[in-house]
Amino acid sequence: MEKSKAMKRDSIATARLLSEALPNIQRHDGAIIVIKLGGHAMSSPEAMKSFARDMVMLRQCNIKPVIVHGGGPMINSMLEKLEIPTEFVNGKRVSTPETVDVVEMVLSGKVNKSIVSAINGQGGRAVGLSGKDANLLVCEQAAGDLGMVGDPVAVNAKVVFSLIESGFIPVIAPLGTGKNGETFNVNGDTAAGAIAGGLKANRLLLLTDVSGVKDADGDVLTNLSAEQVSDLTEKGVISGGMIPKTQTALDAINDGVRAVVIMDGRMANACLLELFTDYGAGSMIRA
């Protein structure tokens, strides 16, 4: 009897939460949400299953997710197996032609298709592609001694729009093509920001393994303007690995994205928490 009462209380609480989520669901009706997937959300089959279920729920609510994924640990593992040395400069992988071949194999193959399979397994309709398909991401070689690392200079958003409008969830590997047909390795955050800008997305969610942008006292700043981000960077409050993420956010906003959230992907149902509740899950940056 006590178990039955507890289940009833849980069911009532669930119904109340769904009812309270309605205004947020309505606010995002028809919205394109680009999500950079990486870190904890890709760390286990359970985490991937939970993420996939959330993406299907978003699509069911007429929210249009576009997923751009990373895969650094998987790339490292394959390079070790093949005994190909890896070099990093300022935290970025030096991509020799041999390394790029492995990166493309891992990202466009195993990682991309595992995400697609997870979403389809939850009743969704996911389609995998890379930035090379239909010249989605046209790149130039990045500055520095990084080899075949690319910076996006053009985005062919038509291919993504066509998938979205056909009811699919695009899952994109961060690779790009050069003007002469070269293959470029593209940073996952950078690729997500460029694609979000090309789509003029309503929101870009950067799933990370940190709780968000923090102030000098270590507290998470939940709402920031682009000007505040620049000021905090100049003062050294935003530093280290957070700088490229906030720069991606600023670039995306300059390209027409309405808001960027640097959020904690370690939290269960982080995307639903951010979009469907007033609590949020990280730091929102607006123009």
- Which residues carry a binding-site annotation for substrate? 71-72, 93, 185
Which residues belong to the annotated binding site?
Answer: 71-72, 93, 185
Q: Report yes or no: 282 and 212 within 8 Å, Cβ to Cβ.
A: yes
Answer yes or no: 245 catalytic. yes
Catalytic-labelled residue, pool 38, 39, 147, 176 = 39
Answer yes or no: 39 catalytic. yes
Q: What is the dihedral of CA 115, 124, 261, 114, to 10 degrees?
A: 0
Structure tokens at 276: 């469907």
Catalytic-labelled residue, pool 54, 133, 189, 264 = 189
Q: Report yes or no: 224 and 283 within 8 Å, Cβ to Cβ.
A: yes
Residue 134 Cα distances to 131, 138, 161, 165, angstroms: 8, 10, 12, 17
Q: What is the 3-state secondary structure (H, E, C) of 232-277?
A: HHHCCCCCCCHHHHHHHHHHHHHCCCCEEEEEECCCCCHHHHHHHC
Catalytic-labelled residue, pool 72, 109, 121, 178 = 72
Q: Report yes or no: 233 and 243 within 8 Å, Cβ to Cβ.
A: yes
Q: Report yes or no: 172 and 68 within 8 Å, Cβ to Cβ.
A: yes
Contacts of 65 (CB under 8 A, 6+ apart): 33, 34, 35, 55, 58, 59, 169, 271
Answer yes or no: 200 catalytic. no
Answer yes or no: 30 catalytic. no
Catalytic-labelled residue, pool 64, 245, 264, 280 = 245
- Catalytic residue annotation: 36, 39, 72, 189, 245
